[in-house]
Amino acid sequence: MTGEVAGFRRDDRDVHPPLDFPGYKATRSRSPREPLVHLPHTITEVTGPQLGRDRVGALDHDLTRAHAGEPLGERITVSGRLLDGDGRPMRGALVEIWQANAAGRYRHHTDNWPAPLDPNFSGGGRCLTDDDGRYEFVTIKPGAYPWPNHHNAWRPAHIHFSLLGEAFAQRLVTQMYFPGDPLFGQDPIFNSVRDPRARERLIARFSLDRTQPNWALAYEWDIVLRGRDETPMEDAL
Amino acid sequence: MTLLPTAAQTVGPYLAIGLPWEDGPYAVEAGAAGSVRISGRLLDRDGEAVPDGMVETWQADPPAGAGFRGFARCPTDADGRWHVVTLPPGPVPGPGGAPQAPHLAVSVFARGLLHRLVTRLYFADHEEANAADPVLAAVPPARRDTLLAVPDGGGYRFDIRLQGPGETVFFDA
């Protein structure tokens, strides 16, 4: 075995946010000041944990059924496909989400803004992608909420997503937004993504086709993790 | 067809709602033979604890065996502390086939980090292997010790400093 392995394509600089972004104040004391050191993709980086079925319960994808009663709010489904950068579906992959309730309050001891907690909503969910790379969650639409970043700062409604990918090099944590949100313009986290196409891809689309009559509005959102480089040596792994 | 990758966004302050697992810190079962505990603190520019972060580790199997999870994740506590329990990783080849010193790949997430940070954890008591490691060789010599976990009470200690004096080396992965 040699060290020559197929790495993953390096992302364009403007796809991901810069670590130091003055508009988002918390980056000031937490983002590194020294330059990042180039890391070659070795076996460590092109492999990753194979986690899945034993981590996901039958109802973990349905955030509206975690308690005895139903949560307040607008019931929605959020679904889409997890693809790699070459358009290949990523199967059996763990998708983890967390979000605020319909009033914009997180069930967390440090979230103290005066909006009500919902006894029927915890806000965490997980599922596995199917053979087509598809995931689906049932939840309620999260509310917007204020935060102390700048005067009159409000986060647009969003759902946090975490993807392990198939390799350490593909690990991604991101946020999904809802179409037409009037708060996009003033949100430094959304706008930290400088490539406008990449920013637009963080916004789900409303789908009347997937909307279920008399039950739930549907949003669709595809997630793309970077693809592999051309294989330098087929037998390297 | 090449698709635009989805952009990263911060985990924000509330990752504890969605990401911790009960067995998260255990890359290997608690009490497994040969397991080691690696612990440390996540600190900001001012040396203040980062209490809303998370550390993940991924690594090769130990030389003698295979099939352990190899992956661990641990949210930081109010003092910025995290820990993982794992088996010492085996050696794996690096660029050009040169062996790499035993190491863990580390991801760091926190409010205030718009994208994950990637670093590596090496073991300070593997001096010879570390001296020959091709990734460590690319790190400015004066900063290499930020990547070394030091033996501490039967385990190892590895603090991560996001910024400022002793800033940990982070990688463009």
Size of interface A-B (CB pairs under 8 A): 235
Closest partner residue to B8 (CB to CB) among A41, A107, A173 is A173
Residue B98 pLDDT = 85
What residues contact residue B152 under an 8 Å CB cut-off, 6+ apart?
B39
Q: H or E segment at A198?
A: helix A196-200
* CB of B1 less than 8 A from some CB of A: yes
Minimum CA–CA partner of B17 in chain A: A124
CA angle A22, A26, A32 (to 5 degrees): 75
pLDDT at A232 over 60: no
The answer to whether residue A233 is domain-embedded is: no
Q: Is residue A123 part of a domain?
A: yes
Q: Is the CB of B3 less than 8 angstroms away from the CB of A16?
A: no
Q: Contact B72/B24 with Cβ under 8 angstroms?
A: yes
Chain B residue with CA closest to A226: the answer is B5
Q: Is A224 helix (H, G, I), strand (E, B) or coil?
A: strand
ipTM: 0.97
> How far is the alpha carbon of A56 from chain B, nearest alpha carbon, in Å?
11
- Partner-chain residue, chosen from A26, A98, A125, that has the shortest CB–CB distance to B111: A26
- Calculate the CA dihedral of residues B97, B100, B102, B106 and round it to 10 degrees: -110
Q: Which domain holds residue B116?
A: 15-161
pTM value is 0.96
How many domains is chain B partitioned into structurally? Answer: 1
Residue A195 lies in a domain: yes
Longest dimension (CA), chain A: 59
> Considering only residues 105 to 124 of chain B, which have any Cβ-Cβ distance to chain A shorter than 8 Å?
105, 107, 109-118, 120
At A185, the pLDDT band (50, 70, 90 cuts) reads very high
Domain-located, residue B3: no
- Chain A positions touching B29 (Cβ under 8 A) are none
Q: Which of B1, B2, B10 to mutate to test the interface with A (most CBs of A within 10 A)?
A: B10
| B3 CA: distance to closest CA in chain A (Å) | 5
B161 within 8 A of B146, measured Cβ to Cβ = yes
Which CATH number fits the domain that encloses residue A155?
2.60.130.10
Helix (H, G, I), strand (E, B) or coil at B29: coil
Cβ atoms within 10 Å, residue A232 = 11
Read off the CATH number of the domain in which B102 is found.
2.60.130.10
User: Which tokens go with A60?
Assistant: 């973990």
**Given this model, what pLDDT does residue B62 score?**
86
Distance of alpha carbon A227 from alpha carbon B6, whole angstroms: 12
Count of structural domains within chain A = 1
Q: What pLDDT digit, counting tens, does each position of B7-38 carry?
A: 999 999 999 999 999 999 999 988 889 999 99
- Residue A177 domain-assigned (yes or no): yes
Contacts of B173 in chain A (CB under 8 A): 39, 41, 45, 168-169
Residue A142 lies in a domain: yes
Query: Is residue A94 a part of any domain in this protein?
Result: yes
Return the percentage of chain A with pLDDT > 70, whole number. 95
- Please give the biggest Cα pair distance in chain B: 52
Q: Distance, in angstroms, between A211 CA and closest chain B CA?
A: 24
Question: Active-site residue numbers of A?
Answer: 106, 145, 155, 158, 160
Q: Would A127 be classed as within a structural domain?
A: yes
Which of these, A39, A18, A36, lies nearest to A169 by C-alpha position?
A39
Distance from CA of A26 to the nearest CA of B (A): 4
Suggest the residue from B1, B3, B45 to mutate for an interface test with chain A (most A CBs closer than 10 A). Answer: B3
**From the CA of B79, how many Å to the nearest CA of chain A?**
15
**B173 domain-assigned:** no
Domain span including residue A152: 25-225
Residue A205 belongs to what H/E stretch?
Answer: strand A205-206
* A55 interfacial to chain B (CB closer than 8 Å): yes
Chain B residues in contact with A107 (beta carbon < 8 A): 17
pLDDT band at A189, cuts 50/70/90? very high
Residue A233: its pLDDT value, please? 44
Q: Which residue of A has its CA nearest to B27?
A: A49
Residue A105 lies in a domain: yes
pLDDT in tens, A55-102: 899 999 999 999 999 999 999 999 999 999 999 999 999 999 999 999
pLDDT band (50, 70, 90) for residue A2: low
